[in-house]
Amino acid sequence: MDGNVRIIIKNVINMGLIDVCHGVVKEGKEAIVYHGESTSSSSPTTSSTSSSKEELTMWRNTQEEELRKDITLDVAIKVFKRISEFKTRGKYVDGDARYHGQKFNRENKRDQVELWAEKEYRNLLRANKAGVPVPTPLLQRENVLFMRFLGEDGWPSPQLREIDIKKGSKKWITLYGQIMIAVRRLYHCARLVHGDLSEYNILICPSILVENGIYSRQSSSNNEETEDAESLLQIVLIDFGQAVEIGHPASFDLLRRDLSMVNAFFKRQGVRTLEEDEAEAFVLREHDGVDHDDDDDEEEDEKKEDWEDKKEEKIEMEEKTVAPMIEVVSAIDADSTIAASSSIKEDGPEHIDTKETTELAASTAKCRDEESVEPAEESLLSDQDNEDEEDDDGAKETKKKKSTWRNIIHSWDDDKDLEMLMDMLRAKKNKKSSN
């Protein structure tokens, strides 16, 4: 642990997020994970900076209710190594819209590591908000990431490859279903693709330790209490640094690779899995009963076209109404001019009624100006009303789009996805038996 990391951890201890940092619990080629410990009864100090207070408020809000009692809270402290390994990770950042215009390979080694840590933190926040089973993100400082520790007594939860289950057991089928549902939820609710999903990046831990616990969510939806929750195990997806948005140019290829790795592992465990194209169809299938952005765009285009048609019709009506009035005024103006010129010829300049001619000309000009100005003002007012209505519609559409993501998350039903997955597996089994 270098001096800069020590300072970061010391500052976090002073903030009150953790009380002590223990030793190393896991080490990989990219990062080292330490075990930190804290009691939720020891609230963070009030002398923190404003930014720290906001992050700590978010941390408190993301914790489960039982974690706010006088119990021990374990924290995983993930320290990313400053190595040249990250130079090859530019493809995961350069195509990400969140880092548009920022070339990863042009950054120095220090900035690359910090950017990678920030990216994993942001991905975890989004996935956690979307209800995907991931470690709860708490804080990120430079190349250090603080998360909820998944394990017991300082021992981390095992990876999927480390658990000992009999080959062909139904437990493998349960875990396969949980992973497929998590990948589907990650894609639609978080708009992310993991990008490096395998048996190495999936943990098996008690559901009670996971904020988005599968069994706790099922029990809350059924208004039932889950008994012996500590004994119920579930999967948790980890290592989100390389996760990309679904709009990333390589997102589909990364999704296919993830599903291929998952299928290959479970096939080795004797599980009948979906084929790669079937797995892709399962993940990509739209969620029933939810409005998507494409539908919103179509509705907005239709409203815009209707508004433009109505505006053109109104302009045509105004032209038809104003045109006869202008002709009448022009005729009056022409008659007055003729009459004035005739009087000049007949009587001479000394017989011209200057006052009468001036009044007639002024009256004609006023009439012409009124007829030309009033429709224009009416048109401007109408346009303003239409613009206000369009602004209101635009605000409603924007608000609707912002709430679409939230609606998808709240309306998402894992039970329906599990039922759909089981139907696909049964159909595949029946097709194979009939052949």
Q: Is 196 considered catalytic here?
A: yes
Task: Look up residue 213 and give its two tokens.
Answer: 């616990």
What is the C-alpha end-to-end distance of the chain, expressed in Å?
60
Q: Cβ atoms within 10 A of the Cβ of 372, count?
A: 13
Please check whether residue 352 is in contact with residue 344, taking contact to mean a CB–CB distance below 8 angstroms. Answer: yes
In angstroms, the CA 261 to CA 428 distance is: 20
Helices (H), 99-169: 109-129
From 94, 196, 333, 393, active-site residue: 196
Task: Look up residue 408 and give its two tokens.
Answer: 């998808």
Name the CA radius of gyration of the chain, rounded: 35
In angstroms, the CA 277 to CA 378 distance is: 60
Q: Is 239 considered catalytic here?
A: yes
For tokens 């029946």, the residue is: 430
- Sheet containing 31-39: which strands, arranged edge to edge? 20-27, 31-39, 72-80, 144-148, 137-141
Nearest CA among 301, 278, 131 for reference residue 212:
131
Helices (H), 77-169: 90-94, 109-129
From 239, 258, 414, 417, active-site residue: 239
Name every residue whose Cβ is closer than 8 Å to that of residue 198 and which is 6 or more positions away in sequence: 258, 261, 262, 265
Catalytic residue list = 196, 239
